[in-house]
């Protein structure tokens, strides 16, 4: 009779292993399977959910649903994600995109507009982790020969996830898209006026913003039914989008890059969104790790 043991931490040959954490859409769980002789056999399962592009859902915050002339902080929801906006310094407010008497390229409806001529950071936090972020911006510049450097810095629950910067093409109130992506996920971004145009000119250290796009992180694969079968094979199941292709990889060494893991095959969809895989080669292996990759 096999007994499934869910272990948040376990030891094997005196070496301690701790739970894995969210990393590049990977969730780590380890389960021990106890056999009839009461000796504990440890099997590691590493579930990695890498979403195909077609499954990624981009969500746009256009700011048109916010009242013109209202200030920050404010928040609203689109597509199941709530975004909260705040700022530093004298901040920003919601204004019509043509508040200047013209509309910067790509802007429309309402936008986020600076409250003063002094620099301020725009901050956005999200109710759920996202993996991709972009926002259209327009710095205050008048026929400059170069454009300001803008930077976005992202965090996941207070921990730095990364940063990215860009420059617009030179012009008058030029526009550019500031982007950041991290498969590990993040839920807080700071948009910062990083540096003035290197050639100087007629400019101000402020910017407008519009059309924020985010991609929510996919839900984790949920591992179920991990069991050692009577013939020595190891079987587990998981949930994922129906009709998908889920490739199972395996390794005995977590230090290896995923490119060096061994491909075992494709999990079978036994019912809509429910998948199962049986490793017939696991009979005499004391420990190994499984990765489920989609696609």
By three-state DSSP, how is residue 55 classified?
Answer: helix
Kindly report, residue by residue over 125-177, the tens digit of the pLDDT: 999 999 999 999 999 999 999 999 999 999 999 999 999 999 999 999 999 99
Low pLDDT (below 50) residues in the chain? 1-55
By three-state DSSP, how is residue 20 classified?
Answer: coil
Kindly report, residue by residue over 207-228, the tens digit of the pLDDT: 999 999 999 987 777 777 888 8
Q: Which two tokens stand for residue 232?
A: 């020595």
Distance CA 73, CA 63 (A): 13
Closest CA to 262 of 282, 242, 276, 245: 282
So what's the pLDDT on residue 225?
82
| Domains recognised in the chain with CATH numbers | 3-52+219-293 (no CATH), 57-216 (2.60.120.200)
So what's the pLDDT on residue 293?
82
So what's the pLDDT on residue 32?
36
So what's the pLDDT on residue 295?
65
């Amino acid at each position: 009779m096999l007994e499934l043991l869910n272990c948040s931490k376990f030891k094997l040959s005196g070496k301690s292993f701790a739970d894995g954490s969210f990393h590049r859409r990977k969730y780590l769980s380890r389960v021990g399977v106890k056999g009839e002789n009461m000796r504990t056999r440890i099997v590691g399962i590493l579930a990695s959910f890498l979403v195909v592009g077609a499954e990624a859902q981009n969500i746009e915050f256009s700011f048109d649903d916010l009242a013109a002339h209202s200030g920050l902080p404010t928040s609203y929801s689109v597509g199941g994600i709530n975004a909260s906006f705040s700022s530093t310094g004298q901040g920003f407010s919601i204004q019509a995109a043509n508040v200047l008497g013209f509309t910067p390229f790509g802007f429309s409806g309402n936008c986020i507009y600076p409250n003063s001529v002094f620099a301020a950071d725009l901050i956005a936090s999200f109710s759920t982790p996202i993996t991709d972020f972009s926002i259209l911006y327009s710095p205050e510049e008048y026929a400059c020969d170069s454009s300001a450097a803008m930077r976005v810095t992202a965090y996941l629950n207070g921990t730095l996830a990364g940063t990215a910067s860009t420059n617009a093409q030179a012009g008058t109130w030029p526009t550019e898209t500031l982007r950041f992506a991290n498969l590990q996920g993040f839920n807080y971004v700071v948009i910062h006026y990083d540096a003035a145009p290197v050639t100087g000119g007629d400019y101000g250290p402020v910017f407008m913003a519009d059309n924020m796009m985010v991609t929510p992180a996919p839900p984790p694969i949920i591992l179920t039914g991990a069991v050692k079968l009577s013939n020595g094979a190891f079987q587990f199941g998981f949930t994922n989008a129906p009709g998908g292709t889920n490739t199972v990889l395996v390794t005995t060494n977590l230090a290896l890059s995923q490119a060096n893991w061994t491909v075992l095959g494709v999990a079978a969809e036994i019912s809509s969104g429910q998948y199962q895989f049986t490793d017939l080669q696991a009979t005499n292996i004391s420990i190994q790790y499984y990765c489920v990759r989609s696609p």
